[in-house]
């Protein structure tokens, strides 16, 4: 029996995919929280994708790995950094865990890429492709636009706008070209690509041949739900106002809607339909897809927070133009920080232990333990084991990591629990740390 592991199995596409997987497949779904399996061939595994160890353990024995993860929502109470850097880190954990597990094929659902003006949201999808390709495991890349179906995040935003607004201002970006694809057709293609050599090492644009603009989507949706609208086209292309009214009337979170709106200002490609996916496309027009949509408005589902209270994650991308090793970067940071802080902070090395002291205080602010890394990750890792600023002695770690054969370099603090009261920490230590890491990035780039 083939062992399949799905990262993102509890998401929208993942839930639909599970329903289409045959009983001859042994399925492992990765989830941030504990879940009860609703089918005999499915096992849910609680996994922290930000932790390589957790990811590696969850992928052990996997034949086919399916990656449906996009990290636009925070996984800790405070997240500092850009979602695309979080995407890089978890994709690197997943890719290297696949390599260690001897995975035979990776299937990745990414996004369609415009020829110009690529948004951060879509560029992040491309960067994840690079990370997965670096494994040299046979890779199937499926690039899709908006996935249509009840419960899909982008489609539900559009549906809520149609239900909630008596009229809409249509900025210039509503004339941008887009692509829509029905959820059932998409999961049929994913299932067809499993253990199929025709799909290996292929990048496939998941399109149905219909050319659409965002204005077309709005008009078709308002007609289907029989909602009379006043639509006013405006010669403006600012996304700031759009993000605000889409957040409010689309009934969604700003962290999700912001990168999505930024992607609307570019034209998605209108490629030929690949012969590989033609047999699986039943819905070739957006109008036909809408016939399968509930005519009732769905109740808003709040995103569930499954993280530990008061945990912090901070990820910064560093310019590493000299292609320094993770160890060189780590050593540079430890020697640079006291100089940058004008000797107000002192670092002391005691074998594997590194302690940071404030001038005139004998108790360390933070105490780190260097961890010898035998995971084949290109990183330097330090466990946070105490100090005045840490609430715990057994959670949290600092690491410097190179990703995708050194194309990207990240510095991150993960699962840190501060000792300061939360709101004092949030407005003092947290912004100071973010500023220090940005400054180190500038230093590293100039050195």
d(CA 206, CA 216): 19
354 and 276 assigned to the same domain: no
Residue 295 scores a pLDDT above 90: no
Average pLDDT, the chain: 89
Contact 100/335 with Cβ under 8 angstroms? no
259 and 336 assigned to the same domain: no
What sign has the CA pseudo-torsion 89, 137, 129, 49? negative
Between 235 and 316, where is the model more confident?
Answer: 316
**How is residue 167 annotated by DSSP?**
E
Three-state SS at 5: strand
In this structure, is residue 168 part of a structural domain? yes
334 and 225 assigned to the same domain: no
212 and 338 assigned to the same domain: no
Of the listed ranges 10-14, 89-93, 112-116, the least confidently predicted one is 112-116
Q: How many Cβ atoms are within 10 Å of 206's Cβ, its own excluded?
A: 26
For 397, phi and psi rounded to 5 degrees?
A: -155, 155
21 and 115 assigned to the same domain: yes
* Domain encompassing residue 347: 312-446
In this predicted structure, what is the pLDDT of residue 119? 85
34 and 139 assigned to the same domain: yes
Q: Which of these, 371, 373, 379, lies nearest to 402 by C-alpha position?
A: 379
Cα–Cα distances in angstroms (integers) from residue 66 to residues 50, 98, 321, 423, in the given order: 17, 10, 32, 39
Three-state SS at 119: coil
Of the listed ranges 179-193, 313-327, 407-421, the least confidently predicted one is 313-327
Residue 305 scores a pLDDT above 60: no
d(CA 48, CA 54): 6
Highest mean pLDDT among 51-55, 78-82, 172-176: 51-55
pLDDT tens digits for 329-356? 999 999 999 999 988 899 898 889 999 9
In this structure, is residue 36 part of a structural domain? yes
323 and 285 assigned to the same domain: no
In this structure, is residue 86 part of a structural domain? yes
242 and 349 assigned to the same domain: no
140 and 237 assigned to the same domain: yes
Q: What is the CATH number of the domain that holds 182?
A: 3.40.50.720
In this structure, is residue 306 part of a structural domain? no
270 and 404 assigned to the same domain: no
365 and 224 assigned to the same domain: no
Between 153 and 418, where is the model more confident?
Answer: 418
d(CA 98, CA 5): 10
List alpha helices for 135-253, DSSP H: 153-164, 183-193, 214-224, 240-249
**What's the token pair of residue 127?**
């960067």
Mean pLDDT of 305-322: 79
Burial 48-61 (b: 16+ CB within 10 A, else e): bbbbbebbbebbee
Mean pLDDT of 310-330: 90
Of 290, 325, 342, which marks where a domain is finished?
Answer: 290
Task: Using pLDDT thresholds of 50, 70 and 90, give the confidence band for residue 300.
Answer: low
d(CA 27, CA 66): 11
Number of domains in the chain: 2
In this structure, is residue 98 part of a structural domain? yes
Of the listed ranges 83-97, 256-270, 272-286, the least confidently predicted one is 256-270
Q: What is the CATH number of the domain that holds 378?
A: 3.30.530.20
In this structure, is residue 297 part of a structural domain? no
Residue 394 scores a pLDDT above 60: yes
Mean pLDDT of 389-396: 92
Of the listed ranges 29-43, 143-157, 224-238, the least confidently predicted one is 224-238
In this predicted structure, what is the pLDDT of residue 310? 83
**What's the token pair of residue 213?**
């603009």
Task: Using pLDDT thresholds of 50, 70 and 90, give the confidence band for residue 241.
Answer: low
Of the listed ranges 33-47, 152-166, 245-259, 319-333, the least confidently predicted one is 245-259
In this structure, is residue 302 part of a structural domain? no
Mean pLDDT of 115-125: 87
Of 290, 322, 356, which marks where a domain is finished?
Answer: 290
In this structure, is residue 390 part of a structural domain? yes
Q: Which of these, 408, 366, 409, 372, lies nearest to 388 by C-alpha position?
A: 366
Of 237, 258, 290, which marks where a domain is finished?
Answer: 290
110 and 173 assigned to the same domain: yes
Residue 304 scores a pLDDT above 60: no
Q: Above pLDDT 90, what percent of the chain?
A: 61
For 2, phi and psi rounded to 5 degrees?
A: -75, 130
């Amino acid at each position: 029996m083939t062992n399949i592991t799905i990262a993102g199995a509890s998401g929208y596409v993942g839930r639909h995919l599970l329903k289409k997987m045959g009983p001859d497949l042994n399925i492992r779904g990765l989830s941030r929280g504990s879940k009860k399996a609703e089918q005999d061939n499915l096992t849910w595994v609680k996994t922290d994708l930000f932790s390589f160890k957790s990811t590696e353990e969850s992928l052990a024995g996997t034949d086919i790995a399916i990656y449906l993860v996009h990290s636009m929502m925070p996984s800790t109470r405070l997240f500092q950094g850009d979602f695309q850097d979080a995407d890089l880190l978890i994709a690197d954990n997943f890719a290297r865990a696949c390599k260690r597990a001897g995975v035979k094929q990776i299937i990745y659902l990414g996004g369609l890429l415009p020829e110009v003006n690529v948004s951060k949201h879509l560029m992040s999808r491309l960067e994840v492709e690079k990370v997965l390709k670096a494994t040299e495991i046979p890779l199937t890349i499926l690039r899709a636009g908006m996935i249509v179906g009840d419960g899909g995040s982008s489609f539900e935003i559009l549906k809520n706008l149609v239900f909630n607004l008596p009229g809409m201002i249509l900025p210039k970006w509503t004339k941008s070209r887009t692509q829509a694809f029905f959820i059932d057709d998409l999961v049929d293609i994913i299932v067809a690509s499993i253990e199929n050599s025709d799909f290996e090492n292929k990048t496939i644009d998941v399109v149905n041949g219909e050319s659409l603009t965002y204005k077309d989507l709005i008009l078709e949706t308002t007609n289907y739900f029989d909602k009379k609208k006043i639509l006013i086209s405006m010669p403006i292309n600012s996304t700031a106002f759009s993000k605000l009214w889409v957040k409010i009337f689309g009934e969604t979170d700003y962290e999700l809607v912001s990168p999505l709106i930024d992607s609307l200002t570019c034209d998605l490609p209108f490629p030929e339909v690949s012969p590989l996916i033609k047999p699986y496309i039943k819905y070739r027009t957006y109008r036909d897809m809408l016939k399968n949509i509930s005519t009732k408005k769905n109740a808003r589902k709040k995103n569930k927070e499954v993280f530990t209270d008061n945990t912090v994650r901070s990820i910064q991308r560093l310019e590493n133009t000299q292609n320094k090793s993770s160890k060189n970067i780590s050593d540079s940071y430890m020697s640079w920080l006291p100089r940058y802080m004008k000797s107000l902070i002192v670092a002391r090395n005691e074998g594997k232990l590194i302690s940071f002291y404030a001038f005139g205080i004998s108790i360390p602010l933070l105490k780190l333990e260097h961890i010898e890394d035998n995971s084949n990750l290109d990183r330097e890792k330090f466990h946070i084991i105490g100090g005045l600023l840490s609430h715990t002695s057994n959670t949290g770690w600092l690491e410097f990591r190179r990703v995708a054969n050194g194309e990207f370099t990240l510095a991150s603090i993960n699962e840190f629990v501060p000792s300061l009261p939360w709101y004092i920490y949030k407005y003092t230590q947290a912004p100071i740390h973010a500023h220090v890491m940005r400054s180190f990035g500038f230093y590293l780039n100039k050195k």
